[in-house]
Structure 1
Amino acid sequence: MHEDVARCVRAVQSKDARFDGWFFTAVISTGIYCRPSCPVVPPKVENMRFYPSAAAAQQAGFRACKRCRPDASPGSPQWNERADLVGRAMRLIADGVVDREGVPGLAARLGYSVRQIQRQLLAELGAGPLALARAQRAQTARLLIETTSVPMSDVAFAAGFASVRTFNDTVREVFGLVPTELRARASKRQPAAAGSLALRLPFRAPLCPDNLFGHLAATAVPGVEEWRDGAYRRTLRLPHGHGVVTLRPQPEYIDCRLTLTDLRDLSAAITRCRWLLDLDADPVAVDDLLRADPVLAPLVEKEPGRRVPRTVDAAEFAVRAVLGQQVSTAAARTHAARLVTAHGEPVDDPAGGLTHLFPDAAALAELDPETLAFPQSRRKTITTLIGALAAGGIDLSVGSDWHRTRAQLAELPGFGPWTVETVAMRALGDPDAFVPTDLGIRYAARTLGLPSTPAALTHHAAAWRPWRAYAVQYLWATGDHAINRLPA
């Protein structure tokens, strides 16, 4: 995108917010870089330079605009769409792997050498993994500086910096202000207590909240998730501790309230909430393609901007997908709640009714299969899955190889196409995952006059690629189910 200069210039001159995160505009006369929709008067074309990432602009010596805050743009939708090395690497970097494990840890997860990863990221993004992680640390630091009263030394280490000096130098270089000046500019805001933050999560419009929050609320596991006062709330298992998040849809952003036991988890928590709500999607590209099908066109026109409800914990979702095989939504919630009560880690939630973290694979590995109110075959399915997850035999991380993980899941007993594709869609985040055997999809197909047999529907749906997971959301929306509407 950034190499198409004429297209980038048009986007900047029209202040088109759809391109925020796709590329960044640097202005050589001022030394700053902006998002395409920056509200200031567009610079002269001869003074514009375009970069594929904020990190690349920073490496070129430009600082972030104080008006449009380009570092807080929605992420490029490419990193959620692509299953190649660069896409997988970007998802892992966003989840904080470089900060926690270094570049060698990133390379080990991806199965490539450090040199190969460095070369490919430089070629596509103009910055290597360390620079990309540094840009993310700077954004995390700004959030902590502006939204909390935490001492600067604590902010530095919570954001992932090795020293206060490096923290000060980076903030000054990226934002053109020292940390205390950044906090002073934000002094009119009410600072949150240590560990508690109020944030706005941006997205590309349009966004239809009905199925997104409706699905999460309708399938919520008691104790782990709840719908309260117009917001979806849940507990989070994070690298350094745990947290509770409250997510409330607003017309122009998602209101996010985070309570963390360890502020080092801020960046990971934000990334996982954005992933959960599919906030980095490009709804215009998705809807334009689906609208080309005359059957889907009225559904898209009625409620454009549907997102795929995902998960904050892929292993948790895989277990819940098995619990939901061939049972009602209510029954699946009941089964999951029993596991949570028996094996989940208790947490405090003074603001609501959350009581536990969903148990991880290590905790579930201790369960007695005889306590599960399932047929013998289903018990084998879930215990085999848990064993594979606990042993690290299946990679469900954001950096996983979607095709390889599908093949690994399909080898497990009781994992048919519906379960595999459901996990691929909502846990792995594959935008082209498709569930033609789902009863809701087959019912919608018959109602709309589409082919209703799995083979015929799959053939018809080839025209929806690579956005079949979004087509699923529009098809589900034709049914009268709680997943399709916000709770009253």
Structure 2
Amino acid sequence: MDLDFEACYQATRSRDPRFDGWFIVGVRTTGIYCRPSCPSPVCPKPVNVTFYRSAAAAQLAGLRACKRCRPDAVPGSPEWNTRADVVGRAMRLIADGVVDREGVPGLARQLAVSFRHLHRLLVDVVGAPPLALARSQRAYQARLLVETTGMPFGDIAFAAGFASIRQFNDTLRAIFDATPSQLRAAMRRRGDPHPGGGLTLRLAVRPPYDPHGVVGWLAARALPGIEEYADGAYRRVLRLPGGPGTVTLRPAPDHVHATFRLASVADLGAAVARCRRLLDLDADPGSYLSVLATDPALAPLARAVPGLRLPGTVDGAETALRTVLGRHAQALAAALADPLPSPDGGLTHTFPAPAAIAAADLTLVAARARTVRELAQRLATGELRLDDGADQVAIRRALLAVPGLGPAQVEDLMLHAIGDPDAFPAADRELRSQAGARGLPADPAGLTRRADRWRPWRGYGGHLLWRARSAPSYRRSERAGHPRKPSGLTVSFRR
């Protein structure tokens, strides 16, 4: 799959930031790769430019990252969050650190494909094999730790997944044209102190960005002890490979300020990837709002919230069990809580593991006991997987096989526990209420038929209706929003 050269070059020549992360600009004459919006005063000639689907592909071509535009510091391609095929699932698992933890064979095993088939798919579509993609991510995580903490470089090397300090030094020098000492010295010259008491980062977002919609959704559904919202910040417990941690997320119009407290700093990459998915930071609003705005009932709402995002999850199993438990989730979580080794303010425990719920006395939720126990048991044994690497068709089929889960609830789970952008829980009472208030059908069947116009973004359409209750005025959002994408300027792909 190749990028359309003319469309990419037009975006590069206009230095359009909306295409940052969609593709990488490689300049052969300088030996560097940039983001499309690089502020370099001279645009390279077309004959000297090659476009890549990923930074890893540019690095394989022998290019280093531009020091002016920092292509590693922009959101990733929104394509990898919405693609349900093997490539999309692989990219999400690599971002979560599976290659570092289990190697490429472990990645292939989770995707139920052979090593050779996975290698071929990623090279064909992304331009780089799994190891190169993991190496690129490892370098980015190492740079984050170098610039945002005071950790010794040896500790950073192993925390980021490098096999040796020499490999760590060589990789950063090859990709960023700077040693770890030089990167840290530059950070100090900029006056960016590393704060104590946690790892504090700025998570880049793709503008326009609605900083209130997702956080408001999460805050309204927060479980005490596991989540809290105070002073404009959403905080929650994270269950990570190296042990439990916490994160504080404070949204701003152009970034999210994130502070992590982790049991193992090696979990930083996975924690960042999961928080980006939770807040949908890599999404491209133009992709789905342009489709939703074709429905006259949704057009004013789409204009009012130009930075709409879809609430995600940091743990699909937790979200699924909480959804099925409903109002009983808080009591059950408190009864089966796993206390944090060190409480962080109001965050005191993790959500119970599926195995603990499957083995528990569920008299508290007698009406749903069988459904909760069956769901928890299948999650605990791995018969049902709700992670970034699972196949959505198989997930939907497995959820429908759980006693007590009907199509309406499965749609809710597919939307919030899996992040399927086309899932649509038309039976949701609040969704139907908002739909009826805007002249849309208020019955599930009629609303589902109307939502067919919104495919493949029905999930965003549903959240737009949920968001409408607290949406800002159209005029205020237009002033704060990002300008529209220039007419005719698109990035298309051809096989």
Q: Shorter-normalised TM-score: what interval?
A: over 0.9
Find the aligned partners of 2:200 and 2:230 in 1 and give their Cα distance. 17
Is structure 2 residue 315 aligned with structure 1 residue 322? no
Structure 2: gaps of 5 or more residues: 472-495
What is the Cα deviation at residue 349 of structure 1? 5.9
Find the aligned partners of 2:470 and 2:288 in 1 and give their Cα distance. 24
CA contact (8 A) 1:323 1:336 kept: yes
Find the aligned partners of 1:478 and 1:148 in 2 and give their Cα distance. 40
Aligned residue identity for 2:246: V
CA contact (8 A) 2:358 2:372 kept: no
Find the aligned partners of 1:244 and 1:162 in 2 and give their Cα distance. 27
Aligned residue identity for 2:296: P
Q: Could you tell me which residue of structure 1 aligns to residue 71 of structure 2?
A: 70
Change (3 A) 1:148 1:19: same
Find the aligned partners of 2:89 and 2:430 in 1 and give their Cα distance. 31
Question: 3-state DSSP class of the match of 1:257?
Answer: strand
Structure 1: gaps of 5 or more residues: 325-331, 482-488
Q: Could you tell me which residue of structure 2 aligns to residue 163 of structure 1?
A: 164
Q: Could you tell me which residue of structure 1 aligns to residue 285 of structure 2?
A: 283
Q: Could you tell me which residue of structure 2 aligns to residue 485 of structure 1?
A: none
Question: 3-state DSSP class of the match of 1:40?
Answer: coil
Provide the alpha-carbon RMSD of the alignment: 1.5
CA contact (8 A) 1:24 1:53 kept: yes
Find the aligned partners of 1:378 and 1:290 in 2 and give their Cα distance. 36
Q: Could you tell me which residue of structure 2 aligns to residue 347 of structure 1?
A: 340
Q: Could you tell me which residue of structure 2 aligns to residue 486 of structure 1?
A: none
Question: 3-state DSSP class of the match of 2:259?
Answer: strand
The answer to which of 462-471 and 416-425 deviates more is 416-425
Q: Could you tell me which residue of structure 2 aligns to residue 378 of structure 1?
A: 368
1:189 to 164, 187, 192: 192
1:433 to 423, 428, 446: 423
Find the aligned partners of 2:9 and 2:454 in 1 and give their Cα distance. 30
Aligned residue identity for 1:259: R
Q: Could you tell me which residue of structure 2 aligns to residue 295 of structure 1?
A: 297
Find the aligned partners of 2:344 and 2:91 in 1 and give their Cα distance. 34
The answer to which of 439-448 and 179-188 deviates more is 439-448
Is structure 2 residue 72 aligned with structure 1 residue 82? no
Is structure 2 residue 423 aligned with structure 1 residue 420? no
What is the Cα deviation at residue 216 of structure 1? 0.5
TM-score under structure 2 length normalisation: 0.92
CA contact (8 A) 1:15 1:37 kept: yes
Aligned residue identity for 1:354: L
1:397 to 380, 387, 390: 387
Q: Deviations over 1:33-79 (max 9, x none)?
A: 11111122222332221111000000000011112211222111111
Q: Could you tell me which residue of structure 2 aligns to residue 12 of structure 1?
A: 12
Question: 3-state DSSP class of the match of 1:89?
Answer: helix
Q: Deviations over 1:132-173 (max 9, x none)?
A: 000000000000000111000100000011111111111111
Question: 3-state DSSP class of the match of 2:201?
Answer: strand
Equivalences for residues 235-246 of structure 1 within 5 A: 235-246=237-248
Find the aligned partners of 1:107 and 1:230 in 2 and give their Cα distance. 41
Find the aligned partners of 1:19 and 1:64 in 2 and give their Cα distance. 17
Equivalences for residues 4-403 of structure 1 within 5 A: 4-41=4-41, 42-187=43-188, 188-193=191-196, 196-324=198-326, 332=327, 335-347=328-340, 352-370=345-363, 372=364, 374=365, 376-403=366-393
What is the Cα deviation at residue 209 of structure 1? 2.4
Aligned residue identity for 1:461: A
CA contact (8 A) 1:16 1:36 kept: yes
Q: Deviations over 1:422-459 (max 9, x none)?
A: 11111111111101111112222222222222222222
CA contact (8 A) 1:440 1:479 kept: no
The answer to which of 308-317 and 205-214 deviates more is 205-214
Moved over 4 A (4+): 348-351
Find the aligned partners of 1:207 and 1:349 in 2 and give their Cα distance. 34
Find the aligned partners of 2:468 and 2:437 in 1 and give their Cα distance. 9
The answer to which of 259-268 and 359-368 deviates more is 359-368
What is the Cα deviation at residue 243 of structure 1? 1.2
Find the aligned partners of 1:404 and 1:230 in 2 and give their Cα distance. 38
Identity among equivalent pairs (%): 54
Q: Deviations over 1:208-255 (max 9, x none)?
A: 123211110010000000002210000111011221101111111111
Find the aligned partners of 2:397 and 2:445 in 1 and give their Cα distance. 20
Find the aligned partners of 2:227 and 2:167 in 1 and give their Cα distance. 38
Question: 3-state DSSP class of the match of 2:417?
Answer: helix
CA contact (8 A) 1:159 1:264 kept: yes
Alignment length (residue pairs): 468
CA contact (8 A) 1:211 1:473 kept: no
What is the Cα deviation at residue 351 of structure 1? 5.4
Q: Could you tell me which residue of structure 2 aligns to residue 328 of structure 1?
A: none
What is the Cα deviation at residue 124 of structure 1? 0.7
The answer to which of 219-228 and 384-393 deviates more is 384-393
Find the aligned partners of 1:305 and 1:251 in 2 and give their Cα distance. 10
Find the aligned partners of 2:321 and 2:439 in 1 and give their Cα distance. 34
Question: 3-state DSSP class of the match of 2:150?
Answer: coil
Question: 3-state DSSP class of the match of 1:168?
Answer: helix
Change (3 A) 1:297 1:480: closer
Aligned residue identity for 1:287: L
CA contact (8 A) 2:246 2:344 kept: no
Aligned residue identity for 1:72: A
Question: 3-state DSSP class of the match of 2:212?
Answer: helix
TM-score under structure 1 length normalisation: 0.93
Q: Deviations over 1:387-439 (max 9, x none)?
A: 11111110101111111101101111111223211111111111111011111
Find the aligned partners of 2:156 and 2:394 in 1 and give their Cα distance. 39
Find the aligned partners of 1:237 and 1:251 in 2 and give their Cα distance. 28
Find the aligned partners of 2:470 and 2:63 in 1 and give their Cα distance. 52
Q: Deviations over 1:350-405 (max 9, x none)?
A: 652111111111222331122x1x2x331111111111111111010111111110
Find the aligned partners of 1:349 and 1:476 in 2 and give their Cα distance. 36
Question: 3-state DSSP class of the match of 2:347?
Answer: coil
What is the Cα deviation at residue 81 of structure 1? 1.2
Aligned residue identity for 1:343: L
